[in-house]
Structure 1
Amino acid sequence: MRGILVERFGGPEVLVPADLPEPVPGPGQLLVEVSAAGVNYADTHRTDGSYRDAPRLPFVPGTEVVGRTPDGRRVLALTFGGGGYAERAVVDEADTVDVPDQVDDATALSLLVQGLTAWHVLRSSARLLPGETVLIGAASGGVGSIAIRLARHLGAGRIVAGGFTPEKRELALTLGAHVAVSNNPMGYAERVREATAGRGADVILESTGGAALTASIDALAPFGRLVSYGNASREGRPPIDAGVLSARNLSVAGFWLRPALDLPGFFREPLTELFALVASGELSLPPGPAYPLADAHRAHEDLLARRTTGKATLHPAASSV
């Protein structure tokens, strides 16, 4: 079968199409004919070796797929050990969920890593309350675009979107944000306070790290909660002064989806809720870019250059151009 093989750590150029052995499922596993694979920012960290749980070389990237089992089930699955960037993948049955007919492949993949992250960051970590103000720092991305819709569903009083370009800020407004501001760390806190009548945000979702994380803490309202769930800047997470937090009764939390999914009720239950919201029309997601499987390198290039909005997906049946 065809797939993407990484034989050395590096940038998008190391994502090379290759002929791979057919995967063979073991006990408690399923073989999935992949119709689409999700592309996540974390995949770029795995590819360059900077991920906190770096894979061993050589490896096939990709931690989420949607497709059919040999008995015809249409399933969405996590592939924690990789293997998703391929025509077929082996998945643990415990890490799969059946996909309703009303949910297309791209939407299903959006709801897996990005949807579950948005759901847990807002509900499990930040514990968003009705009427509160939410700042979503990367609002046009995969997690951010879903978080805007979910925050509205959960009763947020005001949603402030952060965006790198005017186009991304405009997209966030069309998704349901009340106001959008530049997320350039210089002056970020001041722009957020201006957008919130001087008060700041009750909840901040932060995925950039570095200077953006420091600026976001300054943008919190009293008793505000910031959840850090990524490090797109690759600057690292700066030290946090506990005195600064206690002076305004602030909280800073971290979130990583992988260990959260091992907890009872943290996988199928929220996914089932998200599927139901999509099926009812209450949650609609913007389309993201779709690439042929052989163009995985281009998908990573676009992610790293911040050219994408929504969920990026790879399609084994599509031809490269």
Structure 2
Amino acid sequence: MRAIQITEFGGPEVLRPAELPRPEPGPDEVLIEVSRAGVNYADTHQAENSYLSRSTLPMVPGGEVVGRTPDGRRVVALVGSGGYAEYATAPKAMTWDVPEEIDDVTALAMVVQGASAWVLLRRSTHMAPGESVVVHAAAGGVGSLAVQLAKAWGAGRVIATASSKEKRDLALELGADVAVDAGVEDMKAALIEANEGRRVDVVLEMTGGAVTDQSLHALAPFGRLAFYGMASRRPPTPVQPASLMAHSTTIAGMWLAHVFRLPGDVMRTALDELFALAAEGRLRVVKGGEYGLSEARTAHEELRARRTVGKLVLDPSR
């Protein structure tokens, strides 16, 4: 089968096409003929071995696929690795049926980006109706869905940040009340100004460095910041617990993998709600581009350069 294989860690240049044997599913796994594979920012960390979970070589990258099982079920699945290929195996516990009215790109966007936005708002920050919500990287996969979910769930004011006018315009189109330039020097002041002079209640942050630091300082008493990525590769300043108490603020970390340790099928709950909103037209996936499998390197280059919006996918048939 055609696949992308990594034999050394590094940047996009290590993603190379290869011919590999079709994987064989284990007793608790299912084989999936992949119609589309999702591309996530986490995949760029996987390629350079800087992700939260360590990678081993050689490997086929890609953590999510949508396609059909041998018995004809249409499913979306989290595979950990192995997604950039014509066939992949997935644990049965991490495979979910997809309604036929949900297209491939929407299905893929919901299983990681949509579920991440759902968990960030529902569980990490416990957003309440009427609260102000800051969504950094609001034109990205998670951000574009978080903007819409926050509005659908009654946020009082949604403040988006993005690095270009086009991305800020997209965030406004998706329902943000105001959009802020991500490159502004004083992010704290910009967020407070965007919230009509008030400190903000909730921040969803995945950039790291000064953006995290200044966003934390923009929080209102009992404000919550959920940290779920570090795209800048720069860590924020360490936080002293006493400073949290001084302002009654909360910092939450979120890695979607931990959702599977919770009682009940949280992912099924999240996907049911997300698919329903999408079917009703209340939640729109921004389709950021489709690449052939052999163009995986280009997809990573575009993603790392922040030239993309929304959801990126690979088509294994080309």
Q: Name the TM-score, length of structure 2 as normaliser.
A: 0.97
**1:61 to 2:61 alignment:** yes
Tell whether the 8 Å contact from 1:119 to 1:270 is kept in structure 2 after alignment.
yes
Q: Deviations over 1:262-318 (max 9, x none)?
A: 322321111111111111222122222110011000010001000010011000113
Letter of the 1:231 partner, please give it. M
Q: Which residue of 1 aligns with 2:216?
A: 217
1:16 maps to 16
User: Which consecutive unaligned segments of at least 5 residues does structure 1 have?
Assistant: none
Matched, 1:303 2:303: yes
Corresponding residue number in structure 1 for 2:314: 314
8 Å contact 1:62–1:84 — kept in the other structure? Answer: yes
Q: Report deviation, 1:229.
A: 0.5
Query: Equivalent residue of 2:154, what SS?
Result: coil
Q: Does 1:134 align with 2:140?
A: no
How many pairs are equivalent? 317
**Aligned-partner residue type, residue 59 of structure 2:** F
Structure 1 residue 185: Cα displacement: 5.8
Superposed displacement of residue 93, structure 1: 1.1
What residue in structure 2 maps to residue 33 of structure 1? Answer: 33
1:175-227 Cα distance to aligned partner (Å, 9 max, x none): 11000001226211111111112212100000001111101101112211000
Offset, 1:76: 0.3
Q: Percent identity?
A: 53
2:151 and 2:38 map into 1 onto residues whose CA distance is: 25
Are the counterparts in 2 of residues 185 and 215 from structure 1 also a CA contact under 8 Å?
Answer: no
- In structure 2, the residue matched to 1:121 is 120
CA contact (8 A) 1:59 1:83 kept: yes
Give the match for residue 93 of structure 1: 92
**Alignment check: 8 A CA contact 2:141 2:286 kept:** no
For residues 219-267 of structure 1, what are the alpha-carbon distances to aligned partners after superposition, in whole Å with 9 as ceiling and x for unaligned? 1122110000001000123201333322221111111101222322321
- Verify the 8 A CA contact 1:185 1:211 in the aligned structure 2: no
Who is 1:278 aligned against? 278
CA distance in 2, matches of 1:219, 1:228: 15
Moved more, 166-175 or 238-247: 238-247
Q: What residue in structure 2 maps to residue 144 of structure 1?
A: 143
Secondary structure (helix, strand or coil) at the match of 1:261 reads helix
Q: Given residue 115 of structure 2, which amino acid in structure 1 is its aligned partner?
A: L
CA distance, structure 2, for counterparts of residue 209 and residue 185 of structure 1:
15
In 2, Cα distance between the equivalents of 1:140 and 1:67?
Answer: 26
Unpaired stretches in structure 2, ≥5 consecutive residues: none
Please say if residues 68 and 74 of structure 1, whose CA atoms lie closer than 8 Å, have aligned partners that are also in contact. Answer: yes
Name the amino acid aligned to 1:218. H
CA distance, structure 1, for counterparts of residue 49 and residue 284 of structure 2: 34
CA contact (8 A) 2:184 2:190 kept: no
Q: What SS does structure 1 have at the residue aligned with 2:287?
A: coil
Q: Is the 1:224–1:251 contact (alpha carbons within 8 Å) kept by the matching residues of 2?
A: yes
Match of 1:155, SS? coil
**254-263 vs 123-132, which deviates more?**
254-263
Q: Which runs of 4+ in 1 moved over 6 A?
A: none
Q: Distance in 2 between matches of 1:232 and 1:124?
A: 22
What pairs with 1:117-266 in structure 2 (closer than 5 Å)? 117-184=116-183, 186-263=185-262, 264-266=264-266
Equivalent AA in structure 1 for residue 316 of structure 2: P
Cα contact 1:184–1:212 (8 A) shared by 2: no
Q: State how far apart, in whole Å, the 2-side matches of 1:212 and 1:293 are.
A: 34
1:99-121 deviation per Cα after TM superposition (whole angstroms, max 9, x unaligned):
00111000000001100000000
The separation in 2 between residues aligned to 1:151 and 1:219, in whole angstroms, is 19
- Alpha-carbon RMSD across the aligned residues, in angstroms, is 1.0
Q: CA contact under 8 A between 1:185 and 1:212: conserved in structure 2?
A: no
1 CA distance for matches of 2:30 and 2:53? 24
**Which secondary structure does the structure 1 equivalent of 2:197 belong to?**
coil
TM-score by length of 1: 0.97
